[in-house]
Amino acid sequence: MRIPPKVVHYSVLTFLWAVTLGTVGTLCVIIGWVLVKGLPAITPGFLFSAPEGAGREGGIFPVIVGTLWVILGAVLIATPLGVGTSIFLVEYTRENWVTRVIRFGADCLAGIPSIIFGLFGYVFFVVALGFRWSILSGALTLALMSLPTIIRTSEVALRAVPPQYREVSYALGATRWQMVLRVVIPGSLPGIVTGIVLAMGRSMSETAAVIFTAGTVLPDSVPTSPGDSVRTLAVHFYLLAVEGLSEKNAFGTAAILVLSILVINVGAYTLMHRFLARYR
Amino acid sequence: MLEARNVRLWYGDFNALKGVSMKIQPRSITAIIGPSGCGKSTMLRCFNRMNDLVEGCRVEGEVLFEGRNIYDHYDLTELRKRVGMVFQRPNPFPLSVQENVGYGPRIHGLASGDGLRAAVKKALQATQLWNDVGDRLTAPALSLSAEQQQRLCISRLLAVAPDILLMDEPCSALDPMATQNIEELMLELKRDYTIVIVTHNMQQAARVSDFTGFMLLGELVEFGETQTIFTAPTDKRTEEYITGRYG
């Protein structure tokens, strides 16, 4: 017996609507739950004052600043390395065993649990290089973790630039670098930025790798140098929740974390579109 | 000024050009015709070494530009600046009109500021595009019509002040009216530039070119003045092709 195509069509349509609503709905519930429980805790005092009593009282200002430093450091280190590697892979080499090894390596890095990165960061940056528990060690470790994401998303974006733009650029006598700088990078910027923003979001919410490298000590003042030890928002939330110190402050911290990721996303895309407006 | 001497080319194992020799006369239009896959585009791309970009491509023989073999330690940037190319499909960058035309002068450091604006204007005037787009230089190039885009690509090329224009079926993506307009433009440009055009449109070759070469299976069957080739070809294969019995 043949099922009428119309029935199949509407069944498929219903199914797709259901899974989409299910996905988006779950997401909204999680974010909504965090915001509903966390937003009441967010007051100017909470945002702009130092914690007291291990976070039971007071605010999270040093934690916010410390998180910003670590994330900023990680992005500043990982972006040139990652984007540079992908440019090398796409524009400066032909497919051979070297590129395959690099790509395989990047994929392996992506699959490594973050706590292993934490352990490596601890052994290498904290102990061997003597950076101690610091913004620097944390940023370097998170940068390593971000590399695979940035490399692979940039690579896809670079490859999506139509080959005829490269061809005509060469035909006009441009060098490879002029072509990359003026044609390929502007054309692939949306994809590159997406990769960087994704990596930032993941770094922001990372705990295991940061505990081992940036430290867990709750600072009572704002960090001023890359050598200072910090506690990031995600770690702060984790410790407040796990040690049952203050549910209210824990959710306040979580809400700030979620909102920051939102702000980073919107900010990055706004900047990108402003830049692209000059090119389109 | 431009001469191919016994050019042989392989894509991997495939022998695409089997010893082609031809002399391009300055300030003239030379057409290369032939059926699909005969190697006419490949031959054209030997003149600015665009075949170098193809993996597994190997070239033997000589291409002389002003007496120097471009396959022997020739600066590719300089070569392509002087021997420019127009492609089959209009391929403006996804930038503004102005930035498209200014691309060449900027990468070669030829002009900036007011000088660049003047160069852009001159290049657009040379292709009679200035009247259409002079008041919207910041508009996206991709918003222009196909013919305007092809004119823009020619302007972009003229802005780097080349000596030779290589045109790879420049009208194949255009309608008949636009084709006629571009052909008229080519006749204009002939006064200042040397043009080599590849076309599968025999009427086009007959209309615009001074010299014609007929290629078949990687060989140049016949080369001579267009009028001779089209009225009194010496090779039987040429005659069969231009009378429509071949390809």
Span A164-184, average pLDDT: 93
- Cβ of A183: how many Cβ atoms within 10 Å? 22
For chain B, the average pLDDT equals 92
The answer on A208 and A172 residing in a single domain is yes
- Which residues constitute the domain of residue A22? 5-41
> How far off is chain B from A82, nearest CA to CA, in Å?
25
Domains of chain B, residue spans: 2-242
On whether both A30 and A106 belong to a single domain, the answer is no
- pLDDT band of residue B246 (cuts 50, 70, 90) is low
| Mean pLDDT value across residues A29-39 | 92
pLDDT of residue A96: 87
Q: Per the structure, how many domains does chain A have?
A: 2
- Tell me the C-alpha to C-alpha distance, in Å, between residue A198 and each of A86, A135, A154, A192: 16, 21, 12, 10
Complex confidence, ipTM: 0.89
Q: Does residue A130 sit in the same domain as residue A36?
A: no
**Radius of gyration in angstroms for the set of CA atoms belonging to chain A, rounded to a whole number:** 23
∠A152-A154-A156 over CA atoms, to 5°? 70
B108·A173 Cβ contact <8 A: yes
Is any Cβ of chain B less than 8 angstroms from the Cβ of A277? no
Query: Cα distance from B96 to chain A (closest Cα, Å)?
Result: 6
Tell me: do A27 and A54 sit in the same domain. no
CATH of residue A96 = 1.10.3720.10
Residue A280 clears pLDDT 60, i.e. is over it: no
Are B44 and B83 in contact by the 8 Å Cβ rule? The answer is: no
Structure confidence at residue A268 (pLDDT) = 83
What does DSSP assign to residue B25? P
What is the rounded average pLDDT of the residues B93-114? 90
At residue B247 the predicted structure's pLDDT band, cuts being 50, 70 and 90, is low
Looking at CA atoms only, how far is residue B157 from chain A in angstroms? 7
Digit-coded pLDDT (tens) for B157-213:
999 999 999 999 999 888 888 899 999 999 999 999 999 999 988 889 999 999 999
- Residues A25 and A95 both lie in one domain: no
From A50-59, A255-264, B28-37, the region with the lowest mean pLDDT: A50-59
**Cross-strand pairs, B96:** B140
Q: Which residues of chain B lie closer than 8 angstroms to A168, CB-CB?
A: 85, 87, 91, 93, 153
Do A250 and A222 share a domain, yes or no?
yes
State which fold the B2-242 domain adopts. Rossmann fold (3.40.50)
Residues of A in contact with B80 (CB under 8 A): 170-173
Query: For residue range B43-93, what is the model confidence (pLDDT) as tens digits?
Result: 999 999 999 888 889 999 999 999 999 999 999 999 999 999 999 999 999
- A106 and A165 inside one domain: yes
